[in-house]
Amino acid sequence: MGFVKAKLKDEAGKEIEVQFNPSEYNLSDSTTYVDKSIPGLDGPISQYVTGTATTLSMTLVFDTYEPPTMIKFSESGTDVTKLTKKVVELMVIKGNLHRPPIVTFSWGRIQFKGVITDVKQTFTMFLSSGMPVRAKLEVTFKSVFDMKLGKKKSPFESPDRTKYITVQEGEHLWNYAQKEYGQAAMWRVIAKANGIMNPLDLKNGQILKLPAI
């Protein structure tokens, strides 16, 4: 494969080719948990709440400076903001969308689709007239979550049929709720389905009904 230039492309199909490929980029992911206090336990249970959007950050450099030559003795260049504003404008609300556009950053194998949430411009070189001719842009993207695709990858629903399990020694309703529904707090659903008043009142070998949701 030959040399490939990184590109930004908005959802209308307009492309912005970066002047210089970034020297590096950073991808960041995280998840959110909350602690649930369960009666009878020495400590809380950490319960998954949600994932957060992936962020992509990088520094892009733009340079329009032209140094003196044997033919042209004075330095020159064009206003570099004419290039940088194309990136900044990707954060501006589009009238037909009523929001900023979704942007895809593509370079080699990475195809990151999201919105630009932050652009920090630093101008590092100027002509004697004060015109900026070199700049670096610290750009941050946030991924856009696709609900349909997300549910295919991580389905939230429990199985579509009722299950029956045998209680094992040392296990609790919230253990089964976490395994079956992905949320320990759903133990109340199991308790209600089995007429259990006290979640600690389980017996080894007891048959539990895990209702479908």
- Tell me the pLDDT tens digit for each residue of 175-189: 888 888 878 888 888
Residue where one domain finishes, among candidates 100, 129, 151? 151
Domain with 179, as residue range(s), is 157-210
Write out pLDDT tens, residues 99-108: 999 999 999 8
Looking at residue 70, the DSSP 8-state letter turns out to be S
Kindly state whether residue 121 falls inside one of the protein's structural domains.
Answer: yes
Model confidence pLDDT, tens digit, residues 4-32: 899 999 999 999 989 999 999 999 998 88
Shared domain check, 134 and 34: yes
CA 191, 194, 196, 202 dihedral sign is negative
Q: Is residue 62 part of a domain?
A: yes
Asked if 172 and 146 sit in the same domain, the reply is: no
> 55 and 32: one domain?
yes
User: Quick one: 123 and 170 in the same domain?
Assistant: no
Structural domain contains residue 2:
no
Question: Per the domain annotation, does 67 fall within a domain?
Answer: yes
Same domain membership, residue 39 and residue 121: yes
Residue 112's CATH number: 2.40.30
**What is residue 184's predicted lDDT score, i.e. its pLDDT?**
83
Residue 59 and residue 94 in one domain: yes
Inside any domain, residue 1: no
Q: How far apart are CA 206 and CA 209, in angstroms?
A: 10
Mean pLDDT is highest, among 33-42, 64-73, 118-127, 191-200, for 118-127
Q: Is 41 a member of any domain?
A: yes
Neighbours of 123 (CB within 10 A): 15
Per-residue pLDDT tens digits for 49-94: 677 789 999 999 999 999 888 888 888 899 999 999 999 999 999 8
Q: Into how many domains does the chain fold?
A: 2
Same domain, 78 and 22: yes
- CATH code of the domain covering residue 195: 3.10.350.10
Fill in the amino acid letter for 106. S
Judge whether 200 lies within some domain: yes
In a domain, 170, yes or no: yes
Name the one residue in this structure whose structure tokens are 């998954």: 48
Give, in order, the Cα–Cα distances in Å from 8 to each of 92, 139, 160, 163: 15, 12, 43, 49
- Residues 96 and 174 both lie in one domain: no
**Same domain for 20 and 57?**
yes
- Domain shared by 70 and 173, yes or no: no
